[in-house]
């Protein structure tokens, strides 16, 4: 499958190039028409290799770990964690000897199995902060900033096991949901607990404005995100990016329980308040889903 081939090529670039320094292995991974869109990276493959050499020299134990990866047609998206120790001069400063961990988002477009375009978003701010290279504001400015932000502080919130944030019961027929954290409590995050008594799940859909994160608490769940299939068991988590079709279901005979986070909350709280009025799984009404920034794409994974 083309998507799987593209993912394998991407993994080869990370594993052989960034983690092992085997730069010759990259020649077959990039198209002659390769174009680089990441800020401050050279536009050629040789320049890209030079950037890897610089990283591995400046941070002698530099590595990238792929946390999430997904492919659709000619595109691959990946969320990674970069780690290393500053062992050589960096940004005109002597080596600090400090370690860092930073998030990296990579997007690649492929042609005939090779990377032809690349967009990279490393969290440079977090990097230089951990290395101690970010100038600190005067103490008076820090005090003033602290005072100004006090009104925006949120109080702690305890929601005990098996309870809803608002003490209400919300049914979806084969399952029920409890609000654990809402946008009002946080800075735009919604977390729900979805408890299943039977097998099943929502219709195939995508979110146009929300990323989702799933954490299996009890039971077993089957997911299809884009062309990829995943099985979640207790303790497993899964990230589903916005604008990627997905469908999922509880598949355990004894039911199951899963935590779902929506980032940002958007209209999802309103959606769940509306659909739980009928105590049934959300109706397959395209207008209902569209009104809450989702697109209905097909039936549930286990049928109606």
Q: Are residues 175 and 126 in the same domain?
A: no
Q: Are residues 106 and 26 in the same domain?
A: yes
- List pLDDT tens digits, range 75-85: 999 999 999 99
Q: For the chain, how many structural domains are there in total? A: 2
Residue 108 pLDDT > 90: yes
Report the alpha-carbon distance of residue 132 to residue 88 in Å, rounded.
Answer: 14
Per-residue pLDDT, averaged over 266-291, amounts to 93
Decide if 155 is inside a domain: no
CA distances from 61 to 93, 147, 155, 297 (A): 19, 40, 40, 45
pLDDT score at 92: 83
Q: Are residues 42 and 100 in the same domain?
A: yes
Are the beta carbons of 282 and 172 closer than 8 angstroms? Answer: yes
Q: Where does 101-255 have alpha helices with state H? A: 124-130, 139-149
- List pLDDT tens digits, range 153-200: 778 889 999 999 989 889 999 999 999 999 888 888 999 999 999 999
Q: Are residues 239 and 181 in the same domain?
A: yes
Range of the domain at 262: 170-300
Least confident of 33-42, 111-120, 142-151: 142-151
Residues 6+ apart with CB under 8 A from 73: 2, 3
Report the alpha-carbon distance of residue 59 to residue 87 in Å, rounded.
Answer: 5
Residue finishing a domain among 130, 162, 180: 130
At residue 134 the predicted structure's pLDDT band, cuts being 50, 70 and 90, is confident
Q: Are residues 292 and 241 in the same domain?
A: yes
- Please state the pTM of the whole predicted model: 0.52
- List pLDDT tens digits, range 191-240: 999 999 999 999 999 999 999 999 999 999 999 999 999 999 999 999 99
Residue 29 belongs to domain with CATH number = 3.10.450.50
Residue 240 belongs to domain with CATH number = 2.60.120.10
Decide if 165 is inside a domain: no
Are the beta carbons of 225 and 240 closer than 8 angstroms? Answer: yes
Decide if 208 is inside a domain: yes
């Amino acid at each position: 499958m083309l998507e799987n081939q593209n993912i394998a090529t991407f993994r080869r670039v990370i594993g052989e190039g960034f983690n092992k320094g085997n730069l010759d292995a990259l020649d077959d991974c990039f198209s002659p028409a390769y174009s680089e869109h990441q800020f401050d990276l050279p536009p050629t493959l040789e320049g890209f290799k030079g950037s890897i050499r610089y990283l591995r020299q400046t941070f002698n134990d530099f590595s990238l770990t792929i946390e999430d990866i997904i492919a659709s047609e000619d595109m691959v998206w990946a969320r990674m964690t970069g780690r290393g120790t500053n062992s050589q001069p960096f940004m005109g400063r002597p080596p600090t000897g400090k370690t860092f961990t930073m998030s990296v988002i990579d997007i690649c477009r492929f042609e005939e199995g090779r990377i032809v375009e690349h967009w990279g978003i490393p969290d440079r701010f977090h990097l230089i902060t951990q290395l101690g290279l970010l100038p600190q504001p005067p103490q008076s400015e820090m005090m003033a900033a602290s005072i100004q932000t006090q009104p925006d502080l949120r109080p702690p919130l305890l929601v005990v096991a098996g309870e809803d944030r608002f003490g209400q019961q919300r049914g979806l027929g084969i399952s029920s949901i409890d609000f654990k954290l809402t946008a009002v409590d946080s800075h735009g995050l919604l977390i729900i607990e979805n408890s299943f008594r039977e097998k099943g799940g929502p219709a195939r859909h995508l979110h146009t404005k929300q990323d989702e994160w799933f954490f299996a608490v009890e039971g077993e769940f089957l997911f299809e995100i884009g062309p990829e299939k995943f099985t979640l068991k207790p303790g497993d988590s899964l990230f589903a990016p916005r604008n990627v079709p997905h469908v999922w279901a509880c598949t355990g005979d004894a039911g199951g329980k899963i935590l779902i986070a929506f980032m940002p909350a958007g209209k999802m709280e309103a959606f769940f308040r509306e659909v739980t009025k009928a105590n049934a799984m959300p109706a397959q009404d395209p207008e209902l889903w569209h009104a809450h920034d989702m697109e209905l794409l097909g039936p549930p994974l286990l049928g109606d």
